[in-house]
Amino acid sequence: MKVNKNTLIIISLALIIAVVSLYFLVYKEEDSVFSKKIYSQKSALVTVRSSDYVLLARLVSGEARGEPYVGQVGVAAVVINRVKSPKFPNSIPGVIFQPMAFESVSNGQIWAVYPSRTNFNAARDALNGFDPTYGSLFFWNPSKTVSPWIWTRKIIVQIGRHVFGR
């Protein structure tokens, strides 16, 4: 078999890809240094509120990106309604990090992007007591496949693509 140049080029490219993917697979946490930097720059904006404020805005960003503003407030309000309810943990981090309670926590979306100004405003409005969902404890996207169990819930209102209920 004759070795042609193309084969060699393909092999060396494959090697480079392998090494690069190895780097990213194994040492992926290295790039979190970058996101930390962004975080420390922006967190100065929100020093007055408790740390729950940032966490809530992160959840809004993870769960309701692209939703209308009232829909974003609704998602934050559901978290606060859960904190007040005896049926769920009694703190904002407790509710957000309850295992598998929120999709964006399970798939890491909550950490993907720093929340926008709008996400922060939505979290703030909900913390101030504004609740367009009238005490809802759940929200889901009816066009996505969800567990049939969710339909036993009483639907209160639909905002954007989310249905809110309790």
Partner 1 sequence: MYSEGKEVINLRKYLPWAAGVFLVLVFVIVFLVMQSRVTEAQNLLEASYQKGFFNLLEQVNNLNLLLSKSMVTSSNQQRIVTFLSIWHQAESARDSIASLPLGDRDLTYTQKYFAQMGDFAYSLAKKALNGIEIKKEEWDKIQKFRDTTQDLNKKLRELQDDVARGRINWEGKRFALGIGKNLNVGMADKFLKLDQKLKEEAPSITYDGPFSDHVENIVPKGLTGPLINSDEAIKIAGSFIDNPQNIKYDISIYGTAKGNIPAYSLSFSRPEQNSPAIIMDVSQKGGHVIWFLNTRDIGASKLTVQDAVNKSRLFLEKRGFKDFEATGSLTEDGTCVITFAKKQKDVIIYPDFIKVEVALDNGEVVGFDAIGYYTNHMERVIPAPKLSKKDVLKRINSRLSVKRIRKVIIPDPSLKEKFCYEVDAKLGADRYFIYINALDGTEEQILKVVETEKGTMTM
Binding stretches for partner 1 (CB under 8 A): 1-3, 7-8, 11, 14-15, 18-19, 21-22, 25-26, 48, 68-70, 73, 84-90, 94, 98-101, 117, 121, 124-125, 128-136, 146-147, 149-150, 154-159
Cβ atoms 78, 70 nearer than 8 A = no
CB of 147 to partner 1, least distance (A): 6
Q: How far is CA 101 from CA 8, 79, 86, 139, in A?
A: 50, 11, 16, 11
Query: Smallest gap, in angstroms, from Cβ of residue 156 to partner 1?
Result: 5
Report the nearest approach of partner 1 to the CB of residue 111 (Å). 16
List phi, psi (to 5°) of 42.
Answer: -85, -25
Decide: residue 129, CB within 10 A, 0-12 exposed, 13-18 middle, 19+ buried: exposed
Cβ distance to partner 1 smaller for residue 37 or 84? 84
